[in-house]
């Protein structure tokens, strides 16, 4: 098999593997060339002075040179750097020599070299900019006075007291000297212990800030090359540029030659000659022709000329057409899959970088993929608004029905609802908590009060941090930072409210009498209403809905008639009011429940909105994820933020 036939078979086989269809590429016009190259390369030793801040800590150790002020240390470092520039001190040159060897090939692959710093460290000190070199600042708590207004007597020096005179049976009000400040109205500042000043945090009381300067060396690489023959492919120069230092592994017959006396100011420089083999074919594909270009002793692909463009586009153009089965088949094609994954993960793809598939076709495939993602996102939200409104009414009524059951079962509990902890005074509790009124350390001392305020804030932040971590880990979908923050904040606020509400209900419910008759009779009315709407909404066909609604209404009337009829024989005590009609007594029975529902309306609305929103979103998300999973494409799940 000739070289041309071998490459043609490779291109066709590889095309079949990555596209799944035949790629009828025909190669011709084989061109083999040998490019004679000469490389000259070297390194320039550059010297620099670096500044380092050390704050309040003075550097020490071998090589440390203390120079006084920071400016003096800088001047000394720049002055001493000249001996390395002039070559008077060969420190950095010797370090570079250790990086080099006698093998020109190994030297060629060396890039810029960090030669590190010299042993000297030039240290300087300057007065602290925060305290001016004094080492202390005026106390922020007492503004430098050393004392503060007494918190017990508000600075007056006297306190009002009251005593009961048992002999005259009266209460006597008077003032006496404050025992907290002994009548002075002032107390010693606890922050500065009465001195009026505190240690400067910037310099830790030392008054000075330290800096240092070091002399650093770097070896900066320079490379030039030229073709010594004229018969070479025009694109060979680009191949050398693209391969950079790795070009040495693609060349043959490498040998070191004389580099001359100078090379662009480099301290160390070399020259070598080598041969770069290149290979080019003409490729006839559907719709036109192109060229395949290979170079190096391993025949690396330089430019495949977009030889797979027709095959890839014939498949990629079907993506996002609206046919699910076709989309699944297209996403399973290796070339399409690789292009999409590289685009979504922002990674390089040899298929494109080597131009087996052109960037134009890549972009067109990615555009179609984004169209598919947009279609799926649109489908995932289709009908969500109507479902959310339906859910709002349904969940609101279920919560109303639950509240009615509680009020009917525990009438006394419902009557005392105004006394319970509720949503409207929750904000007052939060404000009191952050102001430190719920405290563990002392009652009168200002320091302990502030300490408890800080503890309260720390506990709240820690609780929020835990919830935030839990939301990021356990929430059913990936969220952005803002949404994660909002949901974590809502949950953090909801947990204490739910806990306190439950606690209040548990300790109070045992004090009330259960009324099962009210629950049975009044509850039947609320259940009947729910049953009527359920029966109307259940059928899928519109013409069946009126029939089921009328049937449900007839059942409701029948149930209420049975209850009214049983009022006598069964002896329902609740309805035994002199000559009172059944419906009137039933309405009287449920009025407290309606009042209870009204008083808890704010919480019912809030719970309904939150529960309906998250429940509906989750239901639609799970449905969409199940649909997207059928495409068998992990990258599609990632694009839909469902991975």
Q: Could you write out the DSSP letters of every residue in 400-428?
A: HHHHHHHHHH-HHHHHTGGGS--GGGHHH
Which helix or strand (DSSP H or E) is residue 158 part of?
Answer: strand 158-165
The predicted structure's pLDDT at residue 439 = 57
- Residue scoring higher pLDDT (573 or 339): 339
Beta carbons of 166 and 173 less than 8 angstroms apart: no
The whole-number average pLDDT for the span 253-260 is 92
Give the per-residue pLDDT at 419. Answer: 67
Q: How confident is the model at residue 470 (pLDDT cuts 50, 70, 90)?
A: very high
The mean-pLDDT minimum among 192-201, 206-215, 254-263, 561-570 falls in: 561-570
Cα separation, 368 vs 276, whole angstroms: 41
481-509 helix and 446-474 helix, angle to the nearest 10 degrees? 110
pLDDT at 551: 83
Tokens, residue 13: 């086989």
pLDDT of 440 higher than 60? no
CA torsion sign for 620, 622, 628, 630 is: negative
- What pLDDT does residue 105 have? 94
> Maximum CA pair distance of the chain?
130
Query: What is the mean predicted confidence (pLDDT) over 84-93?
Result: 90
Percent of the chain clearing pLDDT 90 (strictly above): 50
pLDDT for 308 beyond 90: yes
H or E element that contains 123: strand 121-127
Q: How far is CA 32 from CA 4, 12, 277, 293, 336, in A?
A: 11, 21, 7, 10, 33
Nearest-angstrom CA–CA distance, 93 and 266: 12
**pTM exceeding 0.75:** no
Rg (Cα) of the chain, in Å, rounded? 43
- Residue 34: the pLDDT is 94
Average pLDDT of every residue of the chain: 86
Flag the least confident range among 214-228, 231-245, 326-340, 592-606: 592-606
pLDDT in the model for residue 579: 47
CA distances from 12 to 2, 289, 291, 397, 637 (A): 15, 15, 15, 67, 32
Q: Is the confidence at residue 567, as pLDDT, over 60?
A: no
Q: CA-to-CA distance for 498 and 147, rounded, in angstroms?
A: 45
Least trusted range by pLDDT, from 9-18, 60-69, 111-120, 184-193? 184-193
Query: Taking 60 as the threshold, does the pLDDT of residue 444 lie above it?
Result: no
pLDDT average, residue stretch 465-488: 90
Q: Which residues are registered as beta bridge partners of 138?
A: 197
Q: How many of the other CB atoms lie within 10 Å of CB of 351?
A: 20
Architecture per CATH, 136-199: Ribbon (2.10)
Q: What is the DSSP letter of 59?
A: P
Assign 437 a pLDDT band (cuts: 50, 70, 90): low
pLDDT digits (tens, 9 = 90+) for 162-172: 776 667 767 67
pLDDT at 527: 83
Strand partners, 64: 121
Cross-strand partners of 300: 295
- The more confident residue out of 499 and 254 is 254
Do residues 290 and 355 touch, judged by C-beta distance below 8 A? no
Q: Which residues pair with 215 in a beta bridge?
A: 49
Q: Residue 453 — pLDDT band, cuts 50, 70, 90? A: confident
Confidence grade of residue 569 (pLDDT, cut at 50, 70, 90): very low
Determine the pLDDT at residue 580.
53
The domain ranges of the chain are 26-123+212-289, 136-199, 381-410+514-599, 415-513
Q: Are strands 208-227 and 170-177 parallel, antiparallel or unpaired?
A: unpaired
Classify residue 517 by burial, with Cβ atoms within 10 Å: 0-12, 13-18, 19+: middle
CA 364 to chain centre: 30
Of 320-329, 496-505, 543-552, which one has max mean pLDDT?
Answer: 320-329
pLDDT band at residue 450 using 50, 70 and 90 as cut-offs: low
Least confident stretch, 299-313, 546-560, 577-591 = 577-591
The pLDDT tens digits of the residues spanning 405-422 come to 888 888 888 777 766 667
Rounded average pLDDT over 586-602? 82
pLDDT at 600 over 50: yes
- pLDDT at position 72 over 60: yes
| Phi (first) and psi of residue 423, to 5 degrees | -65, -30
Question: 97 pLDDT exceeds 90?
Answer: yes
Assess whether pLDDT exceeds 50 at residue 447: no
Residue whose C-alpha is closest to residue 4's, from 23, 26, 22, 24: 26
Whether the pLDDT of residue 517 is over 50: the answer is yes
Q: What is the DSSP letter of 182?
A: T
């Amino acid at each position: 098999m000739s070289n041309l036939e071998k490459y043609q078979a490779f291109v066709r086989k590889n095309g079949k593997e990555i596209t799944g269809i035949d790629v009828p590429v025909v190669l011709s016009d084989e061109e083999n060339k040998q490019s004679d190259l000469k490389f000259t390369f070297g390194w320039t030793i550059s010297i620099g002075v670096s500044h380092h801040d050390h704050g309040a800590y003075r550097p020490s150790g071998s090589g440390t040179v203390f120079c006084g002020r920071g400016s003096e240390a800088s001047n000394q470092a720049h002055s001493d750097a000249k001996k390395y520039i002039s070559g008077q001190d060969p420190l950095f040159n010797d370090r570079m020599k250790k990086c080099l060897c006698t093998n020109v090939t190994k030297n060629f692959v060396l890039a810029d070299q960090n030669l590190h710093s010299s042993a000297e460290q030039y240290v300087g000190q300057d007065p602290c900019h925060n305290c001016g070199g004094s080492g202390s600042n005026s106390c922020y708590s007492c503004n430098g006075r050393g004392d503060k207004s007494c918190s017990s007597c508000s600075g007056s020096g006297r306190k009002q007291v009251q005593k009961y005179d048992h002999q005259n049976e009266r209460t006597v009000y008077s003032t006496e000297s404050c025992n907290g400040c002994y009548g002075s109205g002032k107390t010693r500042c606890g922050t500065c212990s009465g001195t009026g000043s505190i240690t400067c945090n910037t310099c830790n009381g030392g008054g000075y800030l330290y800096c240092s300067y070091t002399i650093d060396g770097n070896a900066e690489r320079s490379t030039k090359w030229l073709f010594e023959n004229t018969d070479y492919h025009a694109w060979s120069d680009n191949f050398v540029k693209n391969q950079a230092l790795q070009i040495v592994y693609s060349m043959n017959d490498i040998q070191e030659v004389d580099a001359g006396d100078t090379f662009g100011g480099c301290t160390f420089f070399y020259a070598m000659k080598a041969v770069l083999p290149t290979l080019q074919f003409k490729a006839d594909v559907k719709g036109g022709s192109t060229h395949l270009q290979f170079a190096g002793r391993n025949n690396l692909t330089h430019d495949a000329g977009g030889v797979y463009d027709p095959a890839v586009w014939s498949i990629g153009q079907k993506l996002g057409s609206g046919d699910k089965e076709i989309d699944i088949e297209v996403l399973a094609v290796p070339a399409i899959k690789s292009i999409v994954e590289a685009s979504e993960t922002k990674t390089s793809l040899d298929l494109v970088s080597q131009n087996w598939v052109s960037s134009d076709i890549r972009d067109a495939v990615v555009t179609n993929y984004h169209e598919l993602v947009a279609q799926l996102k649109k489908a995932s939200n289709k009908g969500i608004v109507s479902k959310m409104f339906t859910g709002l009414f349904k969940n609101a009524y279920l919560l109303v029905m639950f509240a009615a059951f509680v009020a009917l079962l525990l009438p006394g509990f419902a009557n005392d609802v105004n006394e319970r902890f509720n949503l409207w005074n929750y904000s007052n509790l939060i404000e009191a908590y952050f102001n430190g009124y719920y405290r563990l350390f002392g009652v009168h001392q200002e320091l302990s009060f502030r300490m408890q305020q800080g503890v309260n804030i720390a506990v709240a932040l820690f609780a929020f941090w835990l919830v935030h971590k839990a939301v990021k880990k356990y929430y059913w979908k990936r969220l952005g930072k803002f949404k994660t923050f909002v949901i974590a904040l809502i949950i953090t606020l909801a947990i204490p409210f739910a806990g306190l509400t439950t606690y209040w209900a548990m300790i109070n419910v045992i004090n009330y009498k259960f009324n099962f008759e009210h629950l049975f009779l009044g509850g039947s009315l609320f259940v009947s209403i729910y049953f009527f709407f359920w029966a109307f909404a259940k059928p899928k066909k519109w013409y069946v809905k009126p029939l089921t609604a009328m049937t449900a209404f007839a059942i409701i009337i029948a149930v209420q008639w049975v209850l009214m009829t049983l009022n006598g024989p069964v002896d329902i005590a609740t309805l035994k009011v002199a000559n009172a009609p059944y419906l009137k007594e039933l309405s009287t029975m449920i009025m407290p429940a309606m009042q209870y529902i009204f008083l808890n309306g704010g919480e019912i609305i809030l719970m309904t909105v939150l529960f309906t929103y998250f429940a509906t979103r989750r239901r639609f998300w799970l449905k969409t994820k199940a649909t997207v999973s059928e495409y068998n494409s992990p990258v599609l799940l990632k694009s839909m933020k469902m991975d």
